[in-house]
Structure 1
Amino acid sequence: MGRGSGGQGGARRGGGRSTGRRVLLAGVLGCLLAVSSAACSGGPEGTPQAGQDGNATDQGPIVVASGLDVTGSGGVRQQLIEEWNRKHASSKSEQAKLVELPGGADQQRSQLLGALQSGSAGYDVVNLDITWIPEFAEAGLIRPMPEEETVDRDFINRVHRTTLWKGRSYARPFNTDVGLLYYRPDLLEAAGIQPSRQPTLNWSWGDLNASIKTLALSPGRGDDQAGWTTQLKQYEGLTANTVEAFASVGVELADEEGRYRASEADLKKGLDELLERTRHDRILASAVSADETATLADFAAGRVAFLRHWPYVYGALRTLLPPDAYSVNRLPGASVLGGQNLAATADSPRAGNARALIAFLTSQESERCLLDAGFAATRASAYNGNSRPCWPRVAAALRPADGASTATGGPSSAPPSKAGEGGAKDQGAAARKAFTWTLSGALKEAVQRPRTPYYGAFTQVLQAHVHALLSAERPDSAKAAGRLHLDLRDAFEGK
Structure 2
Amino acid sequence: MVRRLIPVALAVLLGLAGAGCSAAGARETERFGGTGPFTLVIGRDTTTYLQPLLDRWNQTHPGERVTLLELPEGADEQRAQMVANLQAKSDRYDVLGLDVVWTAEFAETGWILPLERAMFPLNRFLPPVVDTAVYRGKLWAVPYTSNAGLLYYRKDLLAKEGFKPPKTWEDLRTQARALHEKYGIGGYAGQFLAYEGLTVNFAEAVQSAGGQILSPDGTKVIMDVDKAKAGLDFLVDGFREGWIPPEALSFKEEESRLAFQEGRLAFARNWPHAYGPATGSSVGDRFGVTRLPGSNGPGTASLGGYNLAVSAFSKRQKSAVEFIRYFTSLENQRRVLADGSFPPVWAELYDDPGLIKRFPYLPVLKQSILSARPRPASANYDQVSLVIASAVSNALTPPFTKGDSDDVVSSMKGQLEEIIRAQ
TM-score for both structures, normalised by structure 2: 0.87
Does the Cα contact within 8 Å between 2:100 and 2:307 map onto a contact in 1? yes
Q: Which amino acid aligns with 1:45?
A: C
Does the Cα contact within 8 Å between 2:99 and 2:306 map onto a contact in 1? yes
Q: 1:486 to 1:77 in 2, by over 3 A?
A: same
Structure 2 partner of 1:383: 350
- Residue in structure 2 matching 1:76, options 27, 49, 61: 49
Q: 1:42 to 1:477 in 2, by over 3 A?
A: closer
Mapping 1:235-254, distance limit 5 Å: 235-254=195-214
Structure 1 partner of 2:83: 113
Does the Cα contact within 8 Å between 1:55 and 1:352 map onto a contact in 2? yes
SS in 2 for 1:349: coil
Does the Cα contact within 8 Å between 1:64 and 1:123 map onto a contact in 2? yes
Structure 1 partner of 2:328: 362
Mapping 1:60-459, distance limit 5 Å: 60-71=36-47, 75-89=48-62, 92=63, 94-102=64-72, 104-149=74-119, 152-190=122-160, 192-193=161-162, 195=164, 203-216=167-180, 218=182, 221-222=183-184, 225-259=185-219, 260-276=221-237, 278-332=239-293, 333-372=299-338, 373-385=340-352, 430=357, 432-459=358-385
Q: Which amino acid aligns with 2:54?
A: I
Does the Cα contact within 8 Å between 2:112 and 2:309 map onto a contact in 1? yes
The 2-side partners of 1:371 and 1:240 are apart by 23
Does the Cα contact within 8 Å between 1:231 and 1:290 map onto a contact in 2? yes
CA shift, 1:353, in A, is: 1.8
Q: What CA deviation, in whole Å up to 9, does each residue of 1:53-74 have, x standing for no partner?
A: 254334x212211111131xxx
SS in 2 for 1:439: helix
Does the Cα contact within 8 Å between 1:55 and 1:349 map onto a contact in 2? no
CA shift, 1:265, in A, is: 4.4
Moved over 4 A (4+): 47-52, 263-266, 276-279
Q: 1:105 to 1:50 in 2, by over 3 A?
A: farther
CA shift, 1:114, in A, is: 1.8
CA shift, 1:194, in A, is: 5.2
The 2-side partners of 1:213 and 1:158 are apart by 35
Does the Cα contact within 8 Å between 1:284 and 1:304 map onto a contact in 2? no
Unaligned runs of 5+ in 2: 1-15, 294-298
Does the Cα contact within 8 Å between 1:51 and 1:353 map onto a contact in 2? no
Q: What CA deviation, in whole Å up to 9, does each residue of 1:15-43 have, x standing for no partner?
A: xxxxxxxxxxxxxxxxxxxxxxxxx9982
Q: Which amino acid aligns with 1:243?
A: A
Does the Cα contact within 8 Å between 2:120 and 2:325 map onto a contact in 1? no
Residue identity (%): 32
The 2-side partners of 1:315 and 1:78 are apart by 19
Q: What CA deviation, in whole Å up to 9, does each residue of 1:148-207 have, x standing for no partner?
A: 2255211111111000111111000011111111111233344x33557xxxxx822232
The 2-side partners of 1:493 and 1:78 are apart by 44
Q: 1:365 to 1:214 in 2, by over 3 A?
A: same
SS in 1 for 2:267: strand
SS in 1 for 2:123: coil
Unaligned runs of 5+ in 1: 1-39, 197-201, 387-407, 410-428
CA shift, 1:366, in A, is: 0.9
Q: Which amino acid aligns with 2:162?
A: I
Does the Cα contact within 8 Å between 1:129 and 1:341 map onto a contact in 2? yes
The 1-side partners of 2:116 and 2:285 are apart by 48
Q: Give aligned pairs, total.
A: 398
RMSD of aligned Cα (Å): 2.6
Does the Cα contact within 8 Å between 1:125 and 1:354 map onto a contact in 2? yes
SS in 1 for 2:30: coil
CA shift, 1:297, in A, is: 2.3
